[in-house]
Amino acid sequence: MSFMVITAGEKLPEFSVLAQVLSTALNLDRDTAAGAARRCWGLLGRDLEEAAAAGLEARCAEFGVATLRFPCPQPPLPEAEKVKAVSFAGGSAVFSLSGAAAVQAAPGDITVLAAAPVKQETLRSVKTTEGPSSREKAVRLGIMAATGLPIGMGKSKEVNREVRGSEMSFCLDLLLDRQGRRLRVTPEDFDFSCLKANKTYSSQVNLRLFCAEAAAFAPGAARNTGLLAMLASRPLSALPYDSLEDLEREEFRLLLATRGA
């Protein structure tokens, strides 16, 4: 049997502490350990033999890092389901999904609340108008010089180009462990009417407000680094969410931590 070792509790240890743990336990140089600490999101090791898992736990204890051990493999996160709207009434929440589907949840049903600003790659088509190239113009001028015949420089033409980029997007995931569901709220897909008079013209501000409402509705749910920063009105730009996969790794750890608590 192999094992997985994760950090316990809601809040992650400081990255500098995790880097020291990983450097000592895995014999990594400082830069490699720092990168691993930044990317692991508390998932310290997996597919470890029992002796290796015990050794990693011992190193964590030396640095005051509480851990939990689980057998491998563990079930993955449920697929995210996009939420279109939500209503709160009678101590429960009804999440409207695509079509006529809906999920009803009491505060205790929500195991994890995880929010983050994540970078998403974009690909868009841009139509531009381009004239003849310098080479085409030179060829035409050469023909004019050789023949003496007037020749136009050529017509402009429309060209479609694909432009790659990235944009910052916010999302909130709600994990309902007993129901085996993961609900996702994104500004572009969600109706913020539930905010009532607090609703603003900014979708990003609205998502922050909804995050606060969700946290108040489910006070017992574990909260991730991004949500804790939002609730404390701390800057989000320094948070190391390079992609949606970072958020999902953190959610996975929090879900396991709630099961092992």
**Does 93 reside within a domain?**
yes
Rounded to an integer, the average pLDDT of 171-180 is 96
Is the distance from CB of 80 to CB of 216 less than 8 angstroms? no
Number of domains composing the chain: 3
Last residue of a domain, one of 103, 132, 163: 163
Identify the top-confidence range among 122-136, 137-151, 208-222, 224-238: 208-222
Q: What is the pLDDT of residue 164?
A: 75
pLDDT in tens, 177-205: 999 999 999 999 899 999 999 999 999 89
pLDDT in tens, 135-162: 776 666 666 666 766 666 566 667 777 7
Q: What is the pLDDT of residue 199?
A: 95
Instruction: Decide if pLDDT at 86 tops 90.
Output: yes
Type of residue numbered 254: L
> Environment class of residue 172 by beta-carbon count within 10 Å: exposed (0-12), middle (13-18) or buried (19+)?
buried
Kindly state whether residues 195 and 90 are assigned to the same domain: yes
**Does 259 reside within a domain?**
no
> Rounded CA gap, 136 and 234, in Å?
56
Kindly state whether residues 117 and 194 are assigned to the same domain: yes
Domain that holds residue 12: 3-71
Kindly state whether residues 47 and 106 are assigned to the same domain: no
Q: What is the pLDDT of residue 3?
A: 97
Kindly state whether residues 215 and 96 are assigned to the same domain: yes
Q: What is the pLDDT of residue 18?
A: 95
**Does 145 reside within a domain?**
yes
Q: What is the pLDDT of residue 119?
A: 73
Last residue of a domain, one of 35, 52, 71: 71
**Does 257 reside within a domain?**
no
Can you state the angle between helices 30-40 and 244-260, rounded to 10 degrees? Answer: 70
Among 80-89, 147-156, 157-166, 224-233, the range scoring the smallest mean pLDDT is 147-156
